[in-house]
Amino acid sequence: MQKLNHYLFSVGLVLIAMNGIGKTANVAGYICLLASLYLILRKKVTNLGPWWMWTCFIIIVPIAVILNTGVTSIGMAVLAPVVYLTALNTDRKVLSWAFGVASIVASLSIMIYFFNGRYGGTGGLVDTINYNLGVAVVLLGALLGPKTWRWALLSLAIPSVLLSGAEEGLFALAIIGVVCIIRKDIGMKIMPIIFMVTICAVSLLVFHQPESLYNRINLQLTSLNDDVGISGRWSVYAQSLRDIHVWGHGYDPVRMYFGDNPQDMAHTTIHNIPLLVLYQLGPIAFVAWLVMVFGTLWKTSEKYLIVGLFALSTFDHFLWTQLWFWTPAILGVAHQSSIKDWIWRKQCVG
């Protein structure tokens, strides 16, 4: 019972991502999360983290609250630093195992859905349609998992990302791979991944599915020459950059689209978190957000975790919207870690 609050926090973060299970899981996740915030913070907090992170929160939160678009926006903005503080004071082992298990479940479910005929892309149990949410749980769960098992979690995660159909996941894998090479983090433990990727490649060729899994790439590239302004991610990027205000247009994690058609959010939403922060909160908060992310990357040992966070933020918005609380939680976890995060090169304790 002494660690109930830590379990509630970890399980709550996982459950709010499980859209595929149903709304009950989401509601239960938020209940667990709020209960954990109360239970942990009512006790003596021993770890406050670096002062510059709080400076950034002091800049971002008031702008988000003052220029909010509703009660949901206020609640998410105010709770973000509380989630960060809770993550700083949560038992790291409990959280690691919770996210490691979540990554395994999400990875296996994506594979099962694929081989049962979901050839057009899927997020498995996380979200049968939104494969990007599934990729977030798979990759960030693996990178948050126990450090001694991250190589095994990634060995399972990488083929599931390939079968999910998420180009954003492929981009994140490529960035993580480049960082592995730069850090010279290479070893024999990478062999299972080569084996799994080979199996997936053969399976894709056998089922003749590469075109159906990744048919969005051509559609998104063609939108580079689209003059309509609201049809295609690249057009939305350009439109948002043409309309930057000093204090932004107001923090809104729910209504994120241009125009008046919420049913077309896939084509009218800023699928890039840095641009989304710049558009909604303005350049001052944007700089504070960059300091939080890249300052954490520079100052902590969790290099892959923060690189994965940023890579998944490059072509989607879920870590600012549906999974907003994952961002402050990940930053908090990173700041309480002191052990090197090598994946392939050598075994770590933690």
Structure tokens, 318: 């879920």
- Highest mean pLDDT out of 20-29, 118-127, 281-290: 281-290
Taking the model in full, what pTM does it have?
0.86
For residue 264, what pLDDT is reported?
46
Q: Answer yes or no: is 345 within a domain.
A: no
Most confident option among 130-134, 316-320, 327-331: 327-331
Note down the domain range covering 73: 4-335
Q: Is residue 342 part of a domain?
A: no
- Give percent above pLDDT 70 in the chain: 82
Q: pLDDT tens digits for 124-151?
A: 888 888 888 899 999 999 999 998 888 8
At residue 69 the predicted structure's pLDDT band, cuts being 50, 70 and 90, is low
* DSSP assignment string, 78-106: HHHHHHHHHHHTS-HHHHHHHHHHHHHHH
d(CA 28, CA 130): 20
Q: How many domains does the chain have?
A: 1
Q: What are the tokens at 287?
A: 């700089």
Determine, yes or no, domain membership for 48: yes
Q: For residue 291, is pLDDT > 60?
A: yes
118 within some domain? yes
Whether residue 152 is contained in a domain is answered as yes
**Which amino acid makes up residue 216?**
R
The answer to the question of residue 316 being in a domain is: yes
Mean pLDDT calculated for residue range 49-61: 95
pLDDT of 199 higher than 90: no
In a domain, 19, yes or no: yes
pLDDT band at residue 263 under the 50/70/90 scheme: very low
Residue 52 confidence (pLDDT) above 50: yes
Residue 74: count other Cβ atoms within 10 Å of its Cβ: 16
Query: Is 206 within the bounds of a domain?
Result: yes
Taking alpha carbons only, the member of 78, 81, 133 closest to residue 109 is 133
- Burial of 316 from C-beta contacts in 10 A (0-12 / 13-18 / 19+): buried
